[in-house]
C-alpha cells in the first residue's frame, strides 16, 4: 500500500518539493557542465586549431556515452536505489568536468567529455522515476515540465558563463568553476528518502494469471515496450526535437558570431537568452497538456505534436526569411515552444509502462533521442557547416521538429489502448 499522504503524494507535500528542488538543481548543473564547452569553441579553435567537426564531437561525446550506459544504469536504478545512483552519477560527472580543465590536447578533452556522459547516463531516467513516484499522476506533466525547465536554465547558464569566464580568465577556468556546485548538491542527495523498489510481477488483469503473483519474464518485460506503439513512437519523435534543440544550443553562438559579426561573449549571451525562454515553455507546456488532459484522454501526445510543429515552422521562417531584430524576436518564441513538448512526452514514457520499469522506459527514450538526436545534431551541423557554411547547415534543422510532430500525432491514436493495459501498483517509502 501507499504509505504516503492521501492527496496523491508519496511523502509529505513539503518533503516532496524538497527532493524535487535537489533534483532540479542537479539537472541544472548537469546541463551547465554539458554545454559550457559550446562557448569555448573559438578559444579551442585558436589554441588547438580544431575544426567545426571536432568541436561538434566534444558535444556529441557526452551523448554517445549516455547512449551506451543509459540502459544498464537504468536497470540498476529500477532494481536497486534511485537516490544512491543519482548521487554517485552527479559526483562522477562533476569530477569529469573538472578534469576537462587539465586536458592537454583534443583526445584528452574528448575522453573527459565522454566521462561526463558516463556520469550523466542514468540521471534523467532516475530523476523522472522519482518525480513520477513522489507527485500525483494528475500533476505529472506540470511537475516534469518545471523540472525540465532546469535544462534550458542550465544550458543558458553554461553557454553564458563559459563565454564570460573564458574571456576574462581563460577557457580552462570555465570547466573548473562550473564543476564544484554539482558535487556539493550530490552529497545531499544520499540522505533523501526513496521509494521501495517495485517488484516486476505479472499483471492481475492477464487471463493467464492464476494463484499468487508471478515474476515477469525477460520476454514479458520486452513486450512491455515493443507492444506499446504510443511509447516507441514517442521515443522516435523525441529524437527529432532533440536533434534540433541540441544542434541549436551547440551552434547558435557560432552562428551569431560568424553571420552577424558579434563577439563571442555577446553571441553566447544572445544564444543563452533564446535557450532561456524554455524556462517558461517547459512548465507552460506541462500545464497546458494537463489541462487539456481533462477533456481529451490522449492530450499529452496531441499537445506534443502541436508544439513540435509550431517549433519547426518558427525556425524555418527565422532561418530562411529573417535577419536582425525580427529574427531574434521570433527565435525567442521558438525558444519557448522548442521544449514545450518534453513535459507531456516524458509523462507518456511513465504513463504507459509498469511502475517497476519507469526508469528503464525513460532510459530507452534517452538512448533513442541521443542516438538519433543529440549525438547526431551537433556533429551533422558541424560537418554541413564545414562544407556549406553555418547558415545553410542550421536552415535544415526545422525539418527534424516537423517530423517529430508527425510521429507524436500518429502515437496519439494508440495512447488510450496502451494506457488501459498498465497495471496500477501502489508505491511505498523505503525504510530508513
| 142-170 pLDDT per residue, tens | 888 888 888 878 887 888 888 888 888 88
Rounded average pLDDT over 336-361: 85
pLDDT at 1 over 70: no
Q: What is the pLDDT of residue 8?
A: 64
Question: What pLDDT score does 402 carry?
Answer: 96
Say if CB 156 and CB 275 are below 8 A apart.
Answer: yes
The answer to whether residue 407 scores a pLDDT higher than 90 is yes
Confidence band, pLDDT 50/70/90 cuts, at residue 343:
confident
Homologous superfamily of 13-198+220-420: MFS general substrate transporter like domains (1.20.1250.20)
Of the given ranges (21-25, 104-108, 182-186, 336-340), which has the lowest mean pLDDT? Answer: 182-186
Cα separation of 315 and 309, whole Å? 10
- Its pTM stands at 0.72
Burial 397-421 (b: 16+ CB within 10 A, else e): bbebbbbbbbbbbbbbebbeebbee
pLDDT value for 102: 93
**Residue-level pLDDT at 180:** 86
Is 28:153 a contact under the CB 8 Å cutoff? yes
- What separation, in Å, do the N-terminal and C-terminal C-alpha atoms of the chain show? 17
pLDDT in tens, 372-384: 887 788 888 888 8
Query: Which of these ranges, 46-55, 205-214, 366-375, has the smallest mean pLDDT?
Result: 205-214
pLDDT at residue 118 greater than cutoff 70 = yes
Per-residue pLDDT for 109 more than 80?
yes
Nearest to 152 by CA among 244, 251, 28: 28
Paired with 201 in beta bridges are 215
Give the start-end residues of each E strand in 219-336. none
Q: pLDDT per residue over 126-144, tens digit each?
A: 888 888 778 887 777 788 8
133's CB contacts (< 8 A; 6+ apart) are 10, 195, 355, 358, 427
Segment 115-133 mean pLDDT: 83
Amino acid at each position: 500500500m501507499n504509505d504516503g499522504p492521501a492527496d496523491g503524494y508519496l511523502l509529505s507535500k513539503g518533503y516532496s518539493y524538497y527532493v524535487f528542488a535537489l533534483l532540479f538543481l542537479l539537472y541544472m548543473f548537469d546541463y551547465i557542465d554539458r554545454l559550457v564547452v559550446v562557448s569555448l569553441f573559438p578559444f579551442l579553435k585558436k589554441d588547438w586549431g580544431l575544426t567545426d567537426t571536432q568541436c561538434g564531437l566534444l558535444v556529441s561525446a557526452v551523448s554517445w556515452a549516455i547512449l551506451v550506459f543509459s540502459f544498464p544504469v537504468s536497470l540498476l536504478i529500477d532494481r536497486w536505489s534511485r537516490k544512491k545512483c543519482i548521487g554517485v552519477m552527479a559526483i562522477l560527472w562533476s569530477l569529469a568536468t573538472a578534469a576537462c580543465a587539465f586536458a592537454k590536447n583534443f583526445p584528452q578533452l574528448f575522453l573527459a567529455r565522454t566521462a561526463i556522459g558516463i556520469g550523466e547516463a542514468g540521471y534523467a531516467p532516475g530523476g523522472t522515476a522519482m518525480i513520477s513516484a513522489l507527485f500525483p499522476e494528475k500533476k505529472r506533466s506540470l511537475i516534469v515540465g518545471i523540472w525540465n525547465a532546469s535544462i534550458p536554465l542550465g544550458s543558458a547558464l553554461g553557454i553564458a558563463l563559459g563565454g564570460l569566464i573564458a574571456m576574462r580568465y581563460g577557457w580552462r577556468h570555465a570547466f573548473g568553476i562550473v564543476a564544484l556546485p554539482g558535487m556539493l548538491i550530490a552529497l545531499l542527495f544520499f540522505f533523501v528518502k526513496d521509494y521501495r523498489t517495485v517488484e516486476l510481477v505479472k499483471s492481475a488483469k492477464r487471463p493467464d494469471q492464476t494463484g499468487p503473483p508471478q515474476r515477469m519474464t525477460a520476454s514479458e518485460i520486452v513486450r512491455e515496450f515493443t507492444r506499446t506503439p504510443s511509447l516507441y513512437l514517442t521515443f522516435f519523435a523525441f529524437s527529432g526535437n532533440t536533434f534540433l534543440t541540441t544542434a541549436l544550443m551547440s551552434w547558435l553562438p557560432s552562428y551569431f558570431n560568424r553571420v552577424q559579426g558579434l563577439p563571442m561573449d555577446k553571441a553566447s549571451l544572445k544564444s543563452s537568452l533564446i535557450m532561456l525562454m524554455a524556462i517558461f515553455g517547459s512548465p507552460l507546456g506541462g500545464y497546458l497538456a494537463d489541462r487539456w488532459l481533462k477533456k481529451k484522454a490522449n492530450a499529452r501526445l496531441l499537445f506534443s505534436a502541436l508544439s513540435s510543429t509550431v517549433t519547426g515552422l518558427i525556425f524555418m521562417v527565422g532561418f530562411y526569411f529573417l535577419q536582425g531584430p525580427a529574427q531574434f524576436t521570433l527565435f525567442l518564441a521558438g525558444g519557448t515552444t522548442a521544449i514545450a513538448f518534453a513535459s507531456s512526452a516524458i509523462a507518456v514514457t511513465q504513463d504507459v509502462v509498469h511502475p517497476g520499469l519507469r526508469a528503464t522506459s525513460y532510459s530507452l527514450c534517452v538512448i533513442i533521442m541521443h542516438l538519433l538526436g543529440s549525438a547526431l545534431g551537433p556533429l551533422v551541423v558541424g560537418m554541413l557547416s564545414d562544407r556549406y557554411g553555418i547558415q545553410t547547415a542550421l536552415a535544415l534543422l526545422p525539418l527534424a521538429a516537423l517530423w517529430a510532430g508527425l510521429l507524436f500525432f500518429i502515437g496519439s491514436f494508440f495512447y488510450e489502448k496502451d494506457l488501459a493495459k498498465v497495471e496500477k501498483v501502489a508505491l511505498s517509502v523505503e525504510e530508513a
